[in-house]
Amino acid sequence: MKRIMLTVSYNGTNYHGWQIQNNGITVQETLQTAISKVLGKDIAVHGCSRTDAGVHAKMFCCHLDCDDNIPFDAFLRGVNSLLPNDIAILNCENVESDFHARFNAMGKTYVYKILNSNKKDPFIAPFVWQIERPLNIDKMNEFCKNLIGTHDFYGFSSSGRTVEDTVRTVSECVVTKENDIISLKISGDGFLYNMVRIIVGTAVDVSDGRLEPDCALSVFETKLRENAGVTAPPQGLFLEKVYY
């Protein structure tokens, strides 16, 4: 029996997130079905995280156990031919038998994209949060600086969180703008349920003047979700990279 790590990319628009559930089709279910058909047996795939419905991934890592000796190039061609066009396996490689895609991950980078324009663009609409009013990048970055470091991010998560330890270390959080696209990039050793989307929504509320740039300090101290901003919609969020 060998353990294989897969690197996957997907457009999450048509899926109810990564993890298998009863109320809709998921990326995990779709991937497992295709792999099981190629290998001729039921295969379980374990992911590095649980992306929400509508969230995308440029680099998502998962692992599976397999006793088949099918060459990797044939495996990739076979599985990708059965997957829909919005999911692709980019790479596969052998890993140690005790490797786990989730628990061995050292950190992740997420990028959230905002279309800051009053003009609609049907080609990028599924991948951005469109905000027509001008946003203040300087105020957003002032807020983001307060997130860097080790803090208790309980107040920046939703009630659906499944972990007790809510302390995380953020190593990078920066907002940039290119033409009409505003990107918030954040890297850390781990992220709580809806944490990135709440951070983005709070940054927008800071830009709009509804919250002060130092509001993160109050959220850390009180652990109150209501002291943070709105939760940004899912379609602008991308899991950019996973670090091992």
Q: Residue 244 has which token pair?
A: 């091992």
- Confidence (pLDDT) at 8: 98
- Confidence (pLDDT) at 112: 98
Q: Is 120 helix (H, G, I), strand (E, B) or coil?
A: coil
- Confidence (pLDDT) at 23: 87
pLDDT tens, position by position, 91-118: 999 999 999 999 999 999 999 999 999 9
The three-point CA angle 165-167-168 to 5° equals 125
Q: Is 44 helix (H, G, I), strand (E, B) or coil?
A: coil
Q: Which of 15-19, 20-24, 174-178, 213-217 has the lowest mean pLDDT?
A: 20-24
- Confidence (pLDDT) at 162: 75
The DSSP secondary-structure symbol of 12 reads G
Q: Does the pLDDT of residue 28 top 80, yes or no?
A: yes
191: number of Cβ within 10 Å = 22
Query: Looking at the chain, how many residues does it have?
Result: 244
- The phi and psi torsions of 191 (rounded to 5 degrees) equal -140, 145
Domains belonging to the chain, first-starting first, are 2-95 (3.30.70.580), 107-243 (3.30.70.660)
Q: Which amino acid is at 14?
A: N
- Confidence (pLDDT) at 69: 86
- Confidence (pLDDT) at 131: 98
How many helices and strands (H and E) does the chain possess? 5, 10
Closest to 238 (Cα-Cα) out of 114, 151, 145 = 114
Q: Is 172 helix (H, G, I), strand (E, B) or coil?
A: strand
Q: Does the pLDDT of residue 160 top 80, yes or no?
A: no
Q: Are strands 2-10 and 87-95 parallel, antiparallel or unpaired?
A: antiparallel
Active-site entry in 42, 52, 68, 180: 52
The answer to whether the Cα torsion of 38, 42, 48, 54 is positive or negative is positive
Residue-averaged pLDDT of the chain: 96
Distance (Å, whole) CA 114 – CA 133: 11
Mean pLDDT of 45-56: 95
Q: Is 208 a catalytic residue?
A: no
The three-point CA angle 115-208-156 to 5° equals 85
Q: Is the pTM of this model over 0.85?
A: yes
